[in-house]
Amino acid sequence: MDMRAMDDAESSEAVDALKTAAVCAPPPPPAAAMFTRMVKLRLLNAVAPAYFSVATVVTFILYFYLFIPTIFPGPDSALGSSGTALHALAFLFLMFNALGNYVMTIKYPAESANESAVPVCSPHCSDKVDAHYLLNGRHFCKLCKKVILKRDHHCFFTGNCIGNRNMRYFIMFCVYTSCTCLYSLVLGVAFLTLEYDVCFRNPLTFLTLLPLSTGHFFMGTISGLHLFLVLMLYVWLGIGLVCAGFCCQQVLLVARGQTWCQLQRGELVDCHSPWRNNLRDVFGTRWLLGLILPVQTAVPTQEAEELKLD
């Protein structure tokens, strides 16, 4: 078969696929519903980074101005000044890595350098979510307004799409954010026990602590700071568990060579490369360094990535 005949066969297959998609695809949602959905997503895209920044600043202030002076009051405390310094160093290390990987996720986006206009959608584009599905794992994100290579999902906390290039930073951001939150939760529990005599021996304390504290606050028996710290315990617990779960899910997807977008469309990737290679593609050859510092461990060129996809 010559090249022209092959091209004709491919184009007729593409037309058939488009026809099939047109018949099988669900009807698009009304324009008003799409508009409302996009407004909500854009609002979330603005609110989530602000929430993250406020939570970070509040955690920092509580740690150094309340927890450390109260739990480790001085050299005479049980842990002594070296123990206090170790705790402060551990906290700064976790915070540095969480924020460093957050910045790297934004600094190295997964966008394609060669495509800036909205390209033609693939036959499988449902156009009911926040992105147009193109071919070869590329998406046009309506929030980022960019073509993203091997898109996984749009992260509202970073306001960026997560793809192959920034997946490693995103996973490490989840790991260190989870550790920082769970560590802050432990110190928060210690502070409330020491300062306000709250007892955490009963495993059901976390179920009753918030409603009881809210009731006591409105009766005037506890202070606003006390209630705020109780609220922060739930914030740290929630973010810590969500980030840990999200991190495990992302690592499993990366090991399988699959993306969240593919999973949502019900596509199971028939990946022949071993999980070690899939992980190395994302975490790089110097992955050990990447576990402890927010630095580049793989420097894939844009051209190489686009060639790999096309």
Question: 41: buried, middle or exposed (CB in 10 Å: 19+, 13-18, 0-12)?
Answer: middle
How is residue 248 annotated by DSSP?
H
Q: Are 135 and 123 in contact (CB under 8 A)?
A: no
Q: Which is nearer to Zn ion, 161 or 189 (CB)?
A: 161
| Strands, E assignment, the chain | 131-133, 139-141, 146-148, 153-155, 160-162
Mapped onto helix, strand or coil, the DSSP state of residue 153 is strand
User: For 256, what's the count of Cα atoms within 13 Å in the CB-facing half-sphere?
Assistant: 15
The least CB distance from residue 143 to Zn ion, in Å, is 5
Pick the piece of the chain touching Zn ion (CB under 5 A) from 85-93, 140-148, 223-231, 253-261: 140-148
The least CB distance from residue 290 to Zn ion, in Å, is 23
Mapped onto helix, strand or coil, the DSSP state of residue 133 is strand
d(CA 175, CA 167): 12
Residues ≥6 apart with Cβ < 8 Å to 198:
192, 205, 209
Taking residues 243 to 272 in sequence order and writing x for each that binds Zn ion by CB under 5 A, - otherwise, the string is ------------------------------
Residues ≥6 apart with Cβ < 8 Å to 138:
112, 115, 119, 147, 148, 149, 150, 151, 309
How many residues can be counted in the chain? 310
The catalytic residue among 125, 141, 155, 247 is 155
The least CB distance from residue 39 to Zn ion, in Å, is 16
How is residue 29 annotated by DSSP?
P
Pick the piece of the chain touching Zn ion (CB under 5 A) from 28-36, 100-108, 135-143, 241-249: 135-143
Residue 71 touches Zn ion, criterion: CB under 5 A: no
Candidates 110, 144, 198, 253: give the one binding Zn ion (CB under 5 A): 144
When CB distances to Zn ion are compared, the closest residue is 141
Pairing type for strands 131-133 and 139-141 reads antiparallel
Candidates 143, 182, 263, 298: give the one binding Zn ion (CB under 5 A): 143
Q: Which is nearer to Zn ion, 141 or 179 (CB)?
A: 141
Residue 147 touches Zn ion, criterion: CB under 5 A: no
The least CB distance from residue 267 to Zn ion, in Å, is 19
Q: Which is nearer to Zn ion, 192 or 261 (CB)?
A: 261
- Say how many residues touch Zn ion, by CB under 5 A: 5
The least CB distance from residue 50 to Zn ion, in Å, is 18
Report residue 261 as tokens: 């977008």
Query: Is residue 243 among the annotated active site residues?
Result: no
Taking residues 152 to 191 in sequence order and writing x for each that binds Zn ion by CB under 5 A, - otherwise, the string is --x------x------------------------------
Residue 141 touches Zn ion, criterion: CB under 5 A: yes
Pick the piece of the chain touching Zn ion (CB under 5 A) from 39-47, 144-152, 171-179, 182-190: 144-152
The least CB distance from residue 144 to Zn ion, in Å, is 3
d(CA 225, CA 208): 18
- Residues in contact with Zn ion by the rule CB under 5 A: 141, 143-144, 154, 161
Active site residues: 155
